[in-house]
């Protein structure tokens, strides 16, 4: 009977001790307050951050934090500061691994999406160029044959050369007419050649 009473008393004490611990809301508030203090104190020394973590864990009845200040800084980068306060070092490490794996997967998917979009953009550009080439081919069927294209280019070059030769010959003709004009006798009525030479020479003087 005495043993039964002792057992009952121990169980009751255990319940009392458990009930005296902070509630879930209180735990969250302690963790959030600790993170706010560390987050707002940008010039806080690393040792002080570790001290804040351990002070909070002591209030929560959790094991002491044995990590480094780099772990605390990293928890802010991932938005896991309160988890670092509330969880044991091992539990937090497992959570961090899963978070990093998720971020790596998201980065991989984003990169794949970017490469796929670049490939689609290249395909669209190639299709646009192909459509332009096809449109020119339909407008000029001869452009579809390289031999005709070469012949067309050769013809255009020859035509350009002939045009230049005609312009040179015309220039010499104008020069000759100007010289002849200067030798004409202008005392009597002007002939048609004199009039033409006069007009041409006057245009050259203006230029």
- Global pTM? 0.48
Task: Supply φ then ψ for residue 43, to 5 degrees.
Answer: -95, 15
Helices (H) and strands (E) in the chain, counts: 8, 0
Confidence band (pLDDT; 50, 70, 90) for 51? Answer: very high
In angstroms, the CA 65 to CA 47 distance is: 12
Confidence band (pLDDT; 50, 70, 90) for 80? Answer: very high
Give the CA distances from residue 156 to residues 146, 149, 152, 153, 168, in Å, rounded to whole numbers and listed in that order.
Answer: 15, 11, 6, 5, 19
Quick one: pLDDT at residue 13?
Answer: 46
Position with higher pLDDT, 198 vs 40: 40
36: Cβ contacts below 8 Å, ≥ 6 apart: none
Query: SS3 string of 24-62?
Result: HHHHHHHHHHHHHHHHHCCCCCHHHHHHHHHHHHHHHCC
Confidence band (pLDDT; 50, 70, 90) for 203? Answer: low
Quick one: pLDDT at residue 59?
Answer: 92
What pLDDT digit, counting tens, does each position of 112-154 carry?
999 999 999 998 888 888 888 777 777 766 555 666 667 777 8
What pLDDT digit, counting tens, does each position of 140-198 carry?
665 556 666 677 778 888 888 888 887 777 766 666 666 555 555 555 566 666 666 66
CB atoms near residue 49 (< 10 Å)? 22
Quick one: pLDDT at residue 14?
Answer: 47
> Is the pLDDT reported for residue 16 higher than 50?
no
């Amino acid at each position: 009977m005495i043993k039964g009473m002792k057992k009952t008393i121990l169980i009751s004490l255990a319940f009392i001790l458990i009930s005296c611990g902070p509630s879930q809301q209180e735990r969250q508030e302690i963790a959030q307050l600790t993170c706010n203090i560390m987050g707002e104190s940008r010039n806080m020394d690393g040792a002080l951050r570790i001290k804040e973590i351990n002070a909070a864990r002591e209030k929560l009845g959790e094991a002491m934090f044995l990590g480094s200040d780099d772990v605390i800084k990293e928890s802010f980068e991932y938005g896991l500061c309160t988890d670092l306060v509330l969880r044991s070092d091992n539990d937090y490490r497992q959570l961090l691994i899963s978070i990093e794996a998720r971020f790596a997967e998201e980065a991989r998917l984003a990169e794949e999406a970017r490469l796929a979009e670049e490939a689609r953009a290249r395909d669209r550009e190639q299709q646009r160029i192909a459509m332009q080439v096809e449109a020119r081919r339909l407008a000029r069927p001869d452009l579809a044959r390289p031999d005709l294209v070469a012949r067309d280019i050769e013809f255009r070059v020859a035509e350009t050369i002939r045009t230049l030769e005609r312009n040179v010959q015309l220039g010499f003709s104008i020069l000759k007419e100007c010289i002849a004009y200067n030798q004409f006798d202008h005392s009597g009525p002007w002939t048609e050649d004199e009039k033409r030479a006069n007009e041409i020479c006057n245009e050259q003087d203006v230029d």
